[in-house]
Structure 1
Amino acid sequence: MTAKNGVAAVERALSILDAFRDTDGRLSLTELAQKTGLYKSTILRLLASLEAYGYVRKLDDRGYQIGPKFVELAGIYQETFRIGDIVMPMLERIVNEVNESASYFVREGKMRLCLFRVDARQEIRDHIRVGDTRPLDRGASGKALIRYSGKRASDAGRDGLVFTSFGERNPDMAAMAAPVFGLGNTLSGCINISGPRTRFSPERVAEITPVLQRAAVELSIQAGASPEILKRLLPAEKDPRS
């Protein structure tokens, strides 16, 4: 992964750290070269700096593993991270894009709890408040939470990311939902878009689906899930010639 206008040396160092993903935590110089595509001489120079700052530790068998600095950074992240800081702007963006109400639900036993909510600027809309609970076995968000409880982001597929419901809880309402993953690529909650059933025609559902997919993927990455895993779930780009 290369960032636009990024610093090449920093990106090479980060690629070394990324190489430790999905391993037993120990890599040799040869394995690092295979995973990163960098020359061993380049890797050794970068490892020296990473080791000096505690990001990598050299082992007695000449292998390497992630250093203790990440424990310190993880503690800082956990102390300062507030899920609402990233959820609310995303819900507001969704409402601006589709003009339907957006909520963020989490699982609470056999119920689903609304943690965050942004109402659409519509006279007719569904009425859900922060703190409201709903049965887990009904509604689009319930389907998403049940489907991915105990699962990881790697279990998700692009075609199975968005769930719908029509009149399951209220005969006049419809909803669409998609799971949100967080640290460890485990389920964090789900985004829910809801409104009167008459406004959720098949054509409208098709329009909202990529918006919801993109929001769920972006929010998952912001919450700490793996970008490499999540980006494959982004909606397919339409061919401009079609």
Structure 2
Amino acid sequence: MEPEQASGSGVRSVRRALDILSLLTEEQPVVPLRTVVEATGLPKTTVVRLVQTLEQYGLLWATEAGYMAGPGLWRWAYLAASSWQLPPETVDLLRGLVARHGETVNLMIRRDVQRVCVAQQESPRPLRHVVRIGDELPLWAGASSKVLLSGADDALLSRIALLSPHGEGHAAQLRAWSDEAERAGFAVSHGERESGLTAVAVPIRAAGGGVAASLSLSGPSSRMTDDLIACFTADLLDVSARIAAEGFDHPLVPRS
């Protein structure tokens, strides 16, 4: 029993440390100790012990105002950037889509039962759809999900359906959506996950022909009206083909 307890305690400590690091955001680059205690619900003594350990590894840096990201994260940031950043040519293509249509562009891949945003260019408009790079979103709804589930087996669809608000029976709808996206070459969603949000997505194909990622435009449904969907889709398909021709590669993309 002791090894199991030690292992469980270790995992719990890791999760608590990651919870503390996750409090740091662009909007909140410095977090006071009191905020950490309140946000985690942990005893102050436990929080102090955790932040001191994170400081020792350079992952946090203590200031008079609180804790900020430590210099030790630079090494990890460099490794992440070298593995995850898209080529400049691909980034330019995404920026071009935003410039032409004024809506947010997302590039997503599937990671088990989630979809992960690996690149984004935000709409310049005040009212816009925002998903941060690295965010994980559910696969049970949305245009990107329909595209990414192309070729998914029944077991995967059932697992995703169980995580949805609709229950296991939603697997049949997921199958219908993914089959339609495969036939049409694109997918559209209107308020399936967020009310008032519309998205159009197309696949980015890997060298072997499978779906490596989804490329989408998303924004308020009031702007992304049905009469514009064909225009959005045509441009997305053109850009997707150009990205695929450059050889889209990513750590989480299944190898064919």
Quickly name the TM-score band, shorter chain normalised: 0.5 to 0.7
CA shift, 1:210, in A, is: 0.7
Q: Equivalent residue for 2:188?
A: 164
CA shift, 1:122, in A, is: 0.6
The answer on whether the counterparts of 2:150 and 2:211 sit within 8 Å (CA) in structure 1 is no
Q: Equivalent residue for 1:125?
A: 128
Is 1:112 matched with 2:115?
A: yes
The answer on whether the counterparts of 1:180 and 1:216 sit within 8 Å (CA) in structure 2 is yes
Q: Equivalent residue for 2:247?
A: 223
CA shift, 1:184, in A, is: 2.3
Unaligned runs of 5+ residues in structure 2 are 1-81, 154-178, 250-256
CA shift, 1:105, in A, is: 0.2
Q: 1: distance between equivalents of 2:149 and 2:104?
A: 22
The answer on whether the counterparts of 1:144 and 1:177 sit within 8 Å (CA) in structure 2 is yes
1:210 maps to which of 225, 228, 234: 234
Partner-residue secondary structure (3-state), 2:212: strand
Is 1:143 matched with 2:146?
A: yes
Q: 2: distance between equivalents of 1:92 and 1:98?
A: 10
Give the structure-1-normalised TM-score.
0.53
Is 1:103 matched with 2:106?
A: yes
1:84 maps to which of 78, 83, 86: 86
CA shift, 1:148, in A, is: 4.5
Give the structure-2-normalised TM-score.
0.50
Q: Equivalent residue for 2:209?
A: 185
CA shift, 1:159, in A, is: 6.1
Q: 2: distance between equivalents of 1:147 and 1:131?
A: 22
Q: 1: distance between equivalents of 2:181 and 2:111?
A: 24
Q: Which amino acid counterpart does residue 191 of structure 2 have in structure 1?
A: G
In structure 2, relative to structure 1, the CA distance for the partners of 1:112 and 1:223 (3 Å cut) is same
CA RMSD of aligned residues (A): 2.7
Number of residue pairs the alignment of both structures matches = 142
In structure 2, relative to structure 1, the CA distance for the partners of 1:177 and 1:218 (3 Å cut) is same
Unaligned runs of 5+ residues in structure 1 are 1-79, 226-242
Q: 2: distance between equivalents of 1:141 and 1:157?
A: 10
